Chain A
Amino acid sequence: MKKIFNRTFAWRQVTENTLFFPIVALSLILLFDFIFIPGFFSIENRDGNLHGSLIDIFRNGSTVMLLAIGMTLVIATGGVDLSVGATMAIAASVAGILMNPSALKNEVFFVTDPNYTFQPLWLVIVSALLVAILCGMWNGVLVAYMRIQPMVATLILMISGRGIAQLITNGLRVQITYRPYSFIGQGWIVLPFSLYIVAAVFAISWLLTRKTAIGMFIESVGTNFRSSFFSGIDEKKIKLLVYTFCGLCAGIAGLVASSNIKTSDANNIGLTTELDAILAVVIGGTAMKGGRFSLLASMVGALVMQAITQSMYAIGVPAFALQAIKAVVVILVILLYSEQVRTFVRGISASKKVV
């Protein structure tokens, strides 16, 4: 009797964990892949580097994972950032034009030399990220100090951002062939290099939020900003901080994305990724109204989004139908996540106890 009680208690602790449902969702998708897609789990070793569909999920999911880190913190304060896709495009444009300024002379210049860059790589990266940080600060100022609804405030940059990105590149697509830059998105050191970037950003964010008081302040502001203000927390500064950080994450994602396609394409880089990032956070269990958040669960959420895409491609769903299929799967995942279904699952575990 005692053993059974202990086991059900542990089961309950497992289902209460924020990671439980995102991992269940991911497992279900991977199970589907295991059954229907032969060779999905095979991993090849090419010259010491690992390749395979699973690795691709991680590699292609890296931009959404980066965005999801920033987005988690923004959503935890009760806000949302719709402009991350546009910020990606802006950062990519800044990087592109600094490496290949031919577009400014109104000519499309196909650089063929993989060793050519107009500015050194460190300057390229720092400038692009600084501009992305400025974009984030802009959102933060509008939301925290101007008291504009987050959705409206970030919509401004979402709409105008791609225009700004085009202005930077003079309306042209900039070819990027500089090899060291390509390494950001395409390089491998056993695992894809972009994964190391994700890991680093994740580690820094986790340390910042969980090893300083910032995480607690964010959750407090997101749960009840008035109580937080009364308790001496500067909720405006906290909001400014998370939007700025979200901008930085979007900037890094923009570098990864542009490096991946060797182009800074103001119109297409990061298109609709803001929605993927928001969904990743929601699947990760952070409530849209703000409050408690889990960065790790958001990472799993981002992988769920990417695994869906990857699986659909693998079973031959055409690209144009992908969004519709994705929507159906997302609905299923969200349903799995709803309070009703959770109660149902708990009910099952409770009835097991009786048997």
Chain B
Amino acid sequence: MGSDGSIASQFFKRTIHNRQAHMSESDQSLLMMEGIGKAFPGVQALEDVSLTLRKGEILCLVGENGAGKSTLMKVLTGVDQPDSGKIIFDGREIQPKSPLEAQELGISTVYQEINLCTNLSVAENILLGREPHKAGRIDWAKTNALASATLHNLLGVDIDVTKPLGSYTVAIQQMVAIARALYVASAKILILDEPTSSLDEHETDQLFKVMKKLKNQGVGIIFITHFIGQVYEVSDRITVLRNGKLVGTYETAAISRVGLISKMIGRNLAEFDEMTKTKLESGKHIKSEALLQARGYGLTDAIQPLDLDLHAGEVVGFAGLLGSGRTETASILFGVDKPDTGSISINGKEVHDHSPLNSIKRGIALCPEDRKAAGIVDDLTVRENIVLAIQASKGWLKYMSLPEQYEIAEKYIELLNIATPSADQPVKNLSGGNQQKVILARWLATNPQVLILDEPTRGIDVGTKAEIQKLVLSLAEEGKACVFISSELEEVLRTSHRIVVLRERQKVAEFAGDVEESTIIHAIAGSEA
């Protein structure tokens, strides 16, 4: 504790040592995670996933939502304990039980939301708890000098460390967080969890410079992002996860963008035939009149104006990467967010007072992407969750009698095969897949004409996924118009009669009928076929 200057010098000694090690044994891995498995109630989050990180490299971890990236990192940093598999770090097996323990071992994480104190100075943030003392009091001159030297030497950043952290940009704050991770924990592995999502281009460049500098010092960096461009800009290798499974690890130079995206969104031709048959059969019933018609419909900073028609008996798939504007489109179609341009007609009549309640009354339903935050009401029972939307559309006075409520609830519990001990079970006690079915039941109970399903199969097991896909097709057959949004292209292809491709908050293409998967991947990636 006494001579704090020595920590920094120790760090340099170590990094020099690392660099030499890096040169001589460049293949030696710093971290090996082998056969990691982790299950949460109702969902296998990780299944036999392996990952290696070499000294002095930047490894990108990519995959769509629910692929298992964050769970894998939680296992590595001790937030969650794996059910199976082992972690070998620096040549010996470790089993971190808490983030603090992982940090002490030399594995530090910098999160998207910065967990530092913005009202304290930069120097205090870096050295908090380790300030050099003089005569029992903090030696501020030394503290500031040390902090400034750390920032300069490690990251090449020169700023006034006495100013409060909050007075700097998010990018600088992130670097301070990195500096703290390196200084306090002398991290050998640095995990950057979506650090660039709130940064602008210039700030991102600044961060990348720092990452490259650290890489040259021998630090292993795991970089999580969903911006494909950045993956190619900064990484050495890429590990792709999908549905909790490892797809593979690739040298960045050896894989094309299109190749990477198709690995992320996946394809699997098995089971395809049966679904295709059903799809063709149901495709015969598509009506020509549009149930819902949007023209130049858009919202600034969310989705650029687009035209969209939804016909009875048709499933329209939205394909695109995370952040491409899929969810935003669903939100304005349902009336969660108010558009600032364009018009929308339902059943041929233009409507202006679009809101969730009015949409429900007009026969539109949205099964939202974020099940926990916008879907289930976890303290309420299965019955109450199922009747919620239909009761809301009836108003508070026309309260459905309990027998009526049980009848509806029990009908859908049976129809959708919801595994619950009774209709009176609080919905929070159900597994993810069954919660999803409860929300589906809520919307089906309103008997909608237009059903928008945003990631209805995320985080649920394969069997339930197939059930839901079949359900969507059979609903279309009954004459409903469905929108099917999914991160898995395979699934969109399998269930949709027509596919709308979104990229960078814009509708870029629309394909009807049989379409090659590669055509869609090219449209998503924005490159020529």
Contacts and interface: CB of A to CB of B under 8 A. Distances in A.
Given A223-B380, A231-B442, A216 B374 contact: no
A217 B393 CA distance: 12
B374 A232 contact: no
Contacts of B376: 224, 227
Interface string A213-247: 11011011001101111111110000000000000
A217 B377 contact: no
B373, B393, B399: which has the most chain A beta carbons within 10 Å?
B399
Contact of A231 (B388, B398, B399, B400): B388
Interface in A171-213: 211-213
B40 interface: no
A227 B374 contact: yes
B339 interface: no
A212 B396 contact: yes
Contacts of B368: 230
Given A211-B399, A213-B395, A231-B442, A220 B377 contact: yes
A223 to B, nearest CB: 4
Contacts of B393: 232
A150 interface: no
Given A229-B356, A232-B356, A213 B380 contact: no
Interface in B312-371: 336, 356-357, 359-361, 366, 368
A212 B366 CA distance: 25
B190 interface: no
Interface string A153-181: 00000000000000000000000000000
B529 interface: no
Given A212-B397, A220-B388, A232 B357 contact: yes
Contacts of A228: 377, 388
Contacts of A270: none
Interface string B425-444: 00000000000000000100
B371 to A, nearest CB: 9
B379 A230 contact: no
Interface string B73-100: 0000000000000000000000000000
Contacts of A227: 373-377
B379 A291 contact: yes
A262 interface: no
Contacts of B398: 213
B392 interface: yes
Nearest to A216: B384
A220 B379 CA distance: 8
Contacts of B356: 229-232
B34 interface: no
Contacts of A212: 396-397, 399
Contact of B373 (A211, A214, A226, A232): A226
A220 B396 contact: no
B238 interface: no
B378 interface: yes
Contacts of B411: none
Contacts of A213: 391-392, 394-400
A211 B397 CA distance: 9
Contacts of A219: 377, 379-380, 384
Contacts of A291: 379
Nearest to A222: B379
Contacts of B384: 216, 219-220
A43 B360 CA distance: 58
A231 B377 CA distance: 10
A213 B400 CA distance: 8
A217, A226, A227, A291: which has the most chain B beta carbons within 10 Å?
A227
B359 to A, nearest CB: 8
A59 interface: no
Nearest to A229: B356
A217, A220, A224, A230: which has the most chain B beta carbons within 10 Å?
A230
Given A219-B379, A230-B356, A231-B442, 7 more contacts: A213-B398, A216-B380, A219-B384, A224-B373, A228-B377, A230-B336, A234-B357
Interface of A: 211-214, 216-217, 219-220, 223-224, 226-234, 291-292
Interface of B: 336, 356-357, 359-361, 366, 368, 373-380, 384, 388-389, 391-400, 442
The 7 closest A-B pairs by CB, nearest first: A232-B392, A232-B357, A231-B389, A232-B360, A291-B379, A223-B379, A213-B399
